[in-house]
Amino acid sequence: MPETMRATIFIEPGRIILGEKPVPQPGPGDALIRITTTTICGTDIHILKGEYPVASGLTIGHEPVGVIEKLGSAVTGFTEGQRVIADAITPAGWDNASLSGCGAQCGAGTAHGWKAMGGWRFGNTIDGAQADYLLVPDAMANLAPIPDGLTDDQVLMCPDILSTGFGGAEAGRIRIGDTVAIFAQGPIGLCATAGARLMGAARIIAVESVPQRVAVSRRMGADEVVNFTREDPVAAIDRLTGGRGVDVAIEALGKAETFAWALKVLRPGGTLSSLGVYAQDLTIPLQAFAGGLGDHVIRTTLCPGGKERMRRLMAMVAGGRVDTGALVTHHFPLDRIESAYELFAHQRDGVLKVAIRP
């Protein structure tokens, strides 16, 4: 094992570089992973643009696929050399939030046991995955062996995008026979579409305008795709549902406008499942909200983590239930990650997700 490694480092807003860092040493409960494939997330672009603050010098990235290089002294149940993924959100397992089934809000180090987004550590509060090596904390709760026969690319979406997208469908409590609207068909929205289909939605109406995304949306399970640049999506969904509205609306963009649209197309008693990362206060329109008397539910979801979640998602891939292959549109070596950021940040060349290989 070398002493230093390449790492994708946030310097300041507008500047993420490939630099060099020491290879970290695992503490008793950690595992050191040699990254074989990782990817860039929309959140990383928020970091790049300075819209989401992280410390200067931090290694970015939270979607690791790799091989166990070294296990901490207290870690059992895994072996070095094993192919694994770790979840983007790494609950401690032993904290109050995890023990309540909400490990994404793990406030492991806090007095009160809950902290908003506390489970998101990689590339946020500790060094992340866009590097040669990654230190995984609470390894026993967060390492998930890759089933035989699955490639890195097949499981690359599990740590974040697939878990989040499915989480949006799950938070919508979609039931057999539901009509579902999904706003935006970026990688997370596409996985939400797949999730809605997998949970038994009778009809899925996606809202998207980019032709490539529209095409992938249909492959992932959308029955209709409304182009919001050509028609008012609220009016369109009202028309498509005969004025009934949808049972579940999923927001997968993170804008106040789409949040309001999602509420406006919802039937009384329906659920708005929100996946977006918002950058401003949101407005709840009075009428769409029936003045507070519509028996509506709004539920937000941070990517569910933990090794059991990863095991389940990889079982879905292994069982042929979902194919996220169409989402990986580009491949880059780690050395060219700055170019990958350039491409991804500007959404060029029909990019959905890029696979980065050290």
Query: What residues between 51 and 110 interact with a copy of itself by CB under 8 A?
Result: 73-74, 76-77, 91-105, 107, 109
Choice between 244 and 346, CB closer to a copy of itself:
244
Choice between 199 and 216, CB closer to a copy of itself:
199
Cβ–Cβ under 8 Å, residues 199 and 213 = no
Choice between 9 and 240, CB closer to a copy of itself:
240
Q: Does residue 26 touch a copy of itself according to CB under 8 A?
A: no
Structure tokens at 252: 């997968």
Residue 171 CA to residue 178 CA, distance in Å, equals 14
Footprint (CB under 8 A) of a copy of itself, residues 149-178: 166, 169-170, 175-178
Minimum gap (Å) between residue 170 Cβ and a copy of itself: 7
Residue 20 CA to residue 6 CA, distance in Å, equals 5
User: Beta strands of 151-275 (E only): which ranges?
Assistant: 179-183, 203-207, 224-226, 246-251, 266-274
Minimum gap (Å) between residue 128 Cβ and a copy of itself: 17
Footprint (CB under 8 A) of a copy of itself, residues 302-331: 302, 306-309, 311-313, 315-316, 318-319, 321
Choice between 141 and 343, CB closer to a copy of itself:
141
Minimum gap (Å) between residue 180 Cβ and a copy of itself: 11
**Pairing of the two strands 246-251 and 143-145:** unpaired
Q: Which residues make Cβ contacts (< 8 Å) with residue 122, sequence separation at least 6?
A: 61, 62, 64, 86, 88, 90, 128, 129, 134
Minimum gap (Å) between residue 17 Cβ and a copy of itself: 26
Minimum gap (Å) between residue 295 Cβ and a copy of itself: 6
Residue 295 CA to residue 141 CA, distance in Å, equals 37
Least Cα distance to 207 among 264, 284, 162 occurs for 264
Minimum gap (Å) between residue 50 Cβ and a copy of itself: 15
Cβ–Cβ under 8 Å, residues 301 and 275 = yes
The residue type at 353:
K
Only one of the segments 16-24, 127-135, 194-202, 331-339 lies at the binding site for a copy of itself (rule: CB under 8 A); that segment is 194-202
Footprint (CB under 8 A) of a copy of itself, residues 277-296: 277-286, 289-296
